[in-house]
Amino acid sequence: MRTAGEYIYAGHPLEAISVPIFSYAYKPKDIKLRINFAKKEQNRALDAHKVYEITPIENKNFLEDVKKIRHKLGNKPILVICRIGGRSKYAANLLAKNGMREVYNVDGGFLEWKRAKLPYGGE
């Protein structure tokens, strides 16, 4: 569920196979807005999302990719995980609505996985 950057740089559960449900297009907002944002940020960090238009793009191959993986792995249960649980909940529901059984959302996402000191890899 997680983006490639999250999977690579923030880490991932061991043996995880990444199939992002969304990718994102980032477009910087007007330069004047970004300059003003930087000035306001001198004393404290602000939400950097405000200087970009962020457009989620749903992965049209998501369902088919997961079906292929499940077929190759012998119909094992699927744990669906994202950073905090929102995207993975959406994806787990999508898989269940399309007839997949034994699909489980990891409540709290990868952040909770790490807090619980479960094994993970990555940089």
| Residue segments in the chain with a per-residue pLDDT below the cut of 70 | 123
User: In the prediction, which pLDDT does 84 show?
Assistant: 92
Calculate the dihedral angle through the C-alpha atoms of 33, 2, 11, 101, rounding to the nearest 10 degrees.
Answer: 160
Rounded to an integer, what distance in angstroms lies between the CA atom of residue 79 and that of residue 12? 12
pTM of this structure: 0.79
Which structural domains are found in the chain, ordered by start?
A: 1-21+59-123 (3.40.250.10), 22-58 (no CATH)
Checking phi first, is residue 108 left (phi over 0); if not, alpha (psi -120 to 50) or beta?
left
